[in-house]
Amino acid sequence: MKLVSILGVFLLVFASGCDPATGVIRTVKIPKVPSNQTVESALRDVPEAKNSEHEILRGADTWSTRDGMLTLELRKARNEEGILELRYLHFGSSTLGELDGPRRLMDEVYASLRRQAPDLPPPTEVTEKLIRVRTK
């Protein structure tokens, strides 16, 4: 019965014309996952991110700014290695110009994290994926 309910909700949302997600995701493999205290200290140093909330979602430590501008997720892989993901997603579509603010915030947060955890890879190793972003 649960499966039928879930499928019904999915079909209603899909049929109602909701736009898929759009935004930007940045990902980097990290040699050592920083502690939660290190991440929280780095976020406090960035004015737009200092009021973030911490949760554990799907086994990963996740911080989200209260305005929804940015989500930072740390997933532990093996040993002390992990993956750091910064993302800004919303429904609809975006232009590259509309993502200037979130991308700048991602730059600031990663720079602050690197000051707190200098063993993080340089920004050149961070990959960026734009999702449904219009050029005009």
pLDDT at 71 over 90: yes
Annotated domain spans of the chain: 19-134
Q: How far is CA 70 from CA 52, 77, 89, 110, in A?
A: 9, 22, 8, 12
Task: Write out the two tokens for 69.
Answer: 């501008």
Rounded to two decimals, what is the model's pTM? 0.81
Residue 81 CA, distance from chain mean position: 18
Mean pLDDT, residues 61-78 taken together: 87
Q: According to the model, what pLDDT value does residue 18 have?
A: 58
Fold of 19-134: TATA-Binding Protein (3.30.310)
